[in-house]
Structure 1
Amino acid sequence: MFQSFFPHPKLFFLSFAFWSLACVVGWYLVAQDIGVHLSLASLFGVDFPAALMEGADEAAQAAFQSAQSTALNAWLYQYMAVCYLIFVGVWVAYGGQKWAKWSVVGSALIVFITWFQVQVSVMLNEWYGTFYDLIQKALAEPNSILLTDYYAQLSTVAVIIMVAITVSVLSNFFISHYVFRWRTAMTRYYTSKWDQVRHIEGASQRIQEDTMRFASIVEGLGVSLLRSVMTLIAFLPILWGLSGYVKELPLIGEVPQALVFTAIIWSIFGTVLLALAGIKLPGLEFNNQRVEAAYRKELVYGEDHVDRATPISLNELFDNVRKNYFRLYANYLYFNVVRYGYLNVGQFVPLIVLAPSIIAGAFTLGVMQRVLNAFNQVENSFQYLINSWTTIVELLSIYKRLKAFEAVIDNSPLASIDQTNV
């Protein structure tokens, strides 16, 4: 599943994790401070500003912060480019895998796009704060702002949205090709071993359908995991800073960093709850594929052989399909009760947490919007397993089906579920 597409999969993913961690730590400990000496953005007129004089007014401080942020962002892109080139260059040169250009370079590009989309979310979060502060001023003091000021502020988000849309469209186009290349690699590998795996139940379906679904789901879950981690890296410091506006929690009282504390506790609670509620689903999904494959196989035989696909045998096979589906429906019934109950209650958690601060008038409407957005971003990142659980269940069933191929190819015993009759 992985070896056919990635060079030395275990080492590749492990090195990616360690290299990513090293680059992130290196940025915060060393790299961001030496940008003033190494950044090439000065060639394009983007320079780090000179230090402010003591006692500078607010306008000068705001201008300094803006110039500093722009120069630092330009240096960050250069730093990331170097990190990417080192990692990709080493694996393309020494990986020794014919699909390396797609698996290594393509994976690096997907990681960068994911990071960029998170940065767009950060920009939108800042924009919401400014925009809702403007609305609060307009509502509190009628005619205090001009209509042109309102539309001017509203139009600034258009650039952010246009960039986000363009990147998302191009990203989806590239990922479609990436997934199909992965499917191609798996298909060629399994078909080269066809004589060994052809006796596996539903072998043709596993090669024709499961390879595509596996590549697509793993890519989707991988990107979601990366986005969750990157969102945490980007928004957790923001939520940490905004927690200064929230001094206490309802019924609990004063809690340091109350917003971060609530997001973590609520997410852990939901993850454990849904894991317990859905513990039986992977096995039922796997059995579902098996009984469907057996029923479909008998129908195919019946097209060419008059003694196959008799009503009695078809009814028996379809009974197996029906029984498994009904078990699946029953399990999803209580799983969805827990899942949708948790998610619907969760959307009101930040409003409950903010209640004492709202009553005390501790912040503006703009700050409140930033808090709600940052809280939701951090909460959703912590809820990766909750949001992806049904997809993970589907992936586990596909993985078990393809793992039977791996077992036969490696001359290992089949899993017990593949040794039992349907």
Structure 2
Amino acid sequence: MALADRFARFRHFLRQVGHLSSPYFSRSGEKWRARGLLAAIVLLNLGAVYMLVQINEWNRVFYDALQNKDAAVFWTQLGRFTYLAMIFIVIAVYRFYLTQLLQLRWRAWMTRDLMHRWLAGDAFYRMELGRYIAPEQDARQTSGLPEPGQRVPDNPDQRLQEDVHLFTTQTVGLSMGFLNAVVTLASFVGILWGLSGSFSFTLGGSEYTIVGFMVWMAVLYCAVGSVLTHFIGRPLIGLNFEQQRREANFRHHLVRVREYSETIALDKGARVEEQNLDTRFAAVLANYLKLIAKQKQLVGFTNLFGQAAVVFPFIVAAP
């Protein structure tokens, strides 16, 4: 796929995320509380990165004191570590608590909002028929439900119960993870740049010098690893979506057997229903085997990448 197509798909993905996220933070009755929680989580994440930088500096001073057998500095740094660790623990605890609280509140609001849309105007019935006929154009534009001719989402009950939970949890988690990665990179690049010297080499009779050699090698190593991880793990997106769909279909048919138990029993249809259930369950297992195979590849690569990262800094620093 061309780079332009990938970029266009990524922009479309971001627009979809924004379309689903913006109502809670911009138009809901909880918008100010939601914004406050989000701001607090961002500040706590920045604080956690700052504390990691301080602990990194503490490591340098502490191990220098050990190497120099400086007892005074050793005991002073032990005392400093006590309050650094306590501050970091407090930040970590409240970052976790407020993140979970935001995810819970967002999920509650979004679930109720979507349930209202699903039940309004008998939309749940029309969706089961495979179409949605809005009573008026304005309602069609604001309902958030499919228009006539559009593909109707499968298993709306699962979308309301499970997908909303996954969306809110992963959106907050991935956003804060990205923020942490960017701030950590900016914080530690300066430290690594100060430690890294220039690397000179001769090529074709000319001498070249790379300033901040270790920084560029670290960026290159991470970039290559990220790209390879992306291409190895990308098929998991479709496989996980398909797994959820097949699990929901199997669960839906189990519920259907329970709801129509009397009719099935009177018609002696237990054997037929068992065959139908077995077919759906076989589809679940078949897709899960594909998931396992792809995850095996991803786990193998990430472990290889992680083990290589242990010796890579020494190889880069050796020159």
TM-score range relative to shorter protein: 0.7 to 0.9
- Choose the corresponding residue for 2:163, options 197, 201, 210: 210
Q: Report if aligned partners of 1:247, 1:256 keep a CA contact under 8 Å in 2.
A: yes
How many residue pairs are counted as aligned between the two chains? 259
- Choose the corresponding residue for 2:54, options 123, 136, 139: 123
Are 1:313 and 2:276 matched, yes or no?
yes
Are 1:190 and 2:209 matched, yes or no?
no
Cα distance in 2, alignment partners of residues 297 and 97 from structure 1:
32
Give the Å deviation of 1:304: 2.3
TM-score, structure 1 as length reference: 0.58
Cα distance in 1, alignment partners of residues 275 and 308 from structure 2:
49
Are 1:327 and 2:280 matched, yes or no?
no
- Choose the corresponding residue for 1:286, options 241, 248, 257: 241
Cα distance in 2, alignment partners of residues 167 and 265 from structure 1:
32
Q: Report if aligned partners of 1:102, 1:181 keep a CA contact under 8 Å in 2.
A: no
What whole-Å deviation, never above 9, does each CA across 1:216-274 have from its counterpart, x for those lacking one? 11111111111111112222222222213x6469x999531011111111111111111
Give the Å deviation of 1:150: 2.5
- Structure 1 stretches lacking a partner, 5+ long: 8-95, 139-144, 357-422
Aligned residue number for residue 259 of structure 1 = 214
Cα distance in 2, alignment partners of residues 280 and 253 from structure 1:
42
Q: Secondary structure at the match of 2:154?
A: coil
Q: Report if aligned partners of 1:281, 1:331 keep a CA contact under 8 Å in 2.
A: yes
Structure 1 residues 275 and 323, CA gap change in structure 2 (3 angstroms)? same
Deviates more, 1:281-290 or 1:187-196: 187-196
What whole-Å deviation, never above 9, does each CA across 1:276-325 have from its counterpart, x for those lacking one? 11221111110000000000111111122132772111110111001101
Aligned residue number for residue 350 of structure 1 = 313
The structure whose RCO (Cα within 8 Å, separation 6+) is larger is 1
Give the Å deviation of 1:173: 1.4
Structure 1 vs Structure 2 CA RMSD = 2.2
Q: Report if aligned partners of 1:298, 1:314 keep a CA contact under 8 Å in 2.
A: yes
What whole-Å deviation, never above 9, does each CA across 1:317-341 have from its counterpart, x for those lacking one? 1110011011111122222222221
What whole-Å deviation, never above 9, does each CA across 1:2-36 have from its counterpart, x for those lacking one? 133121xxxxxxxxxxxxxxxxxxxxxxxxxxxxx
Cα distance in 1, alignment partners of residues 200 and 59 from structure 2:
24
Aligned residue number for residue 31 of structure 2 = 100
Give the Å deviation of 1:158: 0.8
TM-score, structure 2 as length reference: 0.75
- Structure 2 stretches lacking a partner, 5+ long: 1-19, 129-152
Give the Å deviation of 1:355: 2.2
Aligned-residue sequence identity (percent) comes to 29
Give the Å deviation of 1:108: 1.2
Cα distance in 2, alignment partners of residues 170 and 248 from structure 1:
47
Q: Map residues 157-236 of structure 1 onto 2, 5 A cutoff.
A: 157-195=81-119, 196=123, 199=128, 200-236=153-189
Aligned residue number for residue 227 of structure 2 = 272
